Amino acid sequence: MKKLNRRSFIKGGLATTAAAMVVKEKTSAASGDFDNYPEGMGVIVDLTRCVGCRSCEAACNKEQDLPEPAVPFDDFSVFDHMHHGEKRRTDETAYTVVNRYDTPEIDHPLFRKIQCNHCNEPACLTSCFVNAYTKTPEGAVIYNAKVCVGCRTCMVACPFYIPTFKYSSAFTPRIMKCIFCYDTRLKNGQPPACVEACPQEALTFGRRKDVLKIGKQRIRETPGKYVDHIYGEHEVGGTAWMYLSSVPFDKVGFDTHVPKEPIINSVKEFLAMVPMVLTIWPGLFVGFHLLATRKDKVKEMEKEAELKKAKENDEKEEQV
């Protein structure tokens, strides 16, 4: 086996870093100082309205042609099921799930629907090195299975743990996640199936800027009903799906520690170094190499010159 010395270790490390950065640079250019799509659509989810009827789950299942559920959608025992101490999550059979939260603050349970929040600057998109994700002007974050290589980096990158992997088809990689009904509805200006199905209008659809206004109006005009915060207005740089709640958001399963700026901002500085590294480093190190080896060359030339001189001297002496 080849011995791994310091030089070869550094060489390998540099090469890998450079390769990784070449790939990342592309996505950073696409979403660098992205000013969002002002006409993008959004949904505001009002937890005070949801009654946990699971109509949204049923509608999503049919619209997206997902597999038959394990139990009927009108079976409410699912709210008591825990997987490894965790409430239900999206998986390859469900793009959206509703969970029940019993909070001491109020005398009735609250229900929270989860699905892809369709970030303004999606971390899944940023992390994907084959550009399988697209943020459409309509506001949806869609996914292209044709280019996906199944690395599942998006699953790690997502701050909301939403994309899931279809383990049943590992050889034709497929990420399963809510696409805002983009193909069948959103691009025609229609609301997603879950919104249309909701009897309580707990889901309000419209342009993101408009539903944000609606959320603020509800907070202002019904004092005491809501906490004065819209989850998703600023979280991870803003999301198309946002939430209103009557109790603090951390009491109903929300991660309130996510940054208030896009995930990409935490890697932006690093990404900005990429062009510098790629353009300056090669010249710089070639220069170092030449400098370092120049002495040897000069020495060699001097030696040759000396040898030549000596030879000439010898020849002269012979002639004499």
- Show contacts with another protein in window 86-105 (CB under 8 A): 88-89, 91-94
When asked if residue 173 is in the footprint of another protein (CB under 8 A), the reply is no
| Cα–Cα distance, 78 to 272 (Å, whole number) | 47
**If binding is defined by CB under 8 A, does position 155 make contact with another protein?**
no
Chain residues 36-65 in contact with another protein, contact rule CB under 8 A: 49, 51, 53-54, 58-59, 61-62
Whole-number Å distance between alpha carbons of 129 and 125: 8
What mask, x for binding another protein by CB under 8 A, covers residues 210 to 249? x--xx--xx--x----------------------------
Q: Considering only 2-10, 81-89, 134-142, 253-261, which stretch makes contact with another protein by CB under 8 A?
A: 81-89
Among 13, 67, 253, 259, binds another protein (CB under 8 A): 67
Smallest distance, another protein to C-beta of residue 158, A? 14
Select the residue interacting with another protein from 2, 3, 7, 108 (CB under 8 A): 108
Among 187, 207, 234, 268, indicate the residue that binds another protein (CB under 8 A): 207
Exactly one of 21, 31, 36, 73 binds another protein (CB under 8 A); which one?
73
Among 100, 184, 196, 277, binds another protein (CB under 8 A): 196
Q: How far is the CB of 62 from another protein (least distance, A)?
A: 6
Residue pair 125/28 in contact (Cβ under 8 Å)? The answer is no
Q: Which of 60, 53, 63 is nearest to 199 (CA)?
A: 53
- Say if strands 241-244 and 41-46 run parallel, antiparallel, or are unpaired: parallel
* Binding of residue 265 to another protein (CB under 8 A): no
- Residue 41 to residues 46, 114, 115, 197, 263: CA-CA distances in angstroms? 17, 17, 15, 18, 21
Rounded Cα–Cα distance for residues 206 and 39 (Å): 10
Where on the chain is the footprint of another protein (CB under 8 A)?
49, 51, 53-54, 58-59, 61-62, 67-75, 83, 88-89, 91-94, 108, 164, 167-168, 189-191, 195-196, 198-201, 204-207, 210, 213-214, 217-218, 221
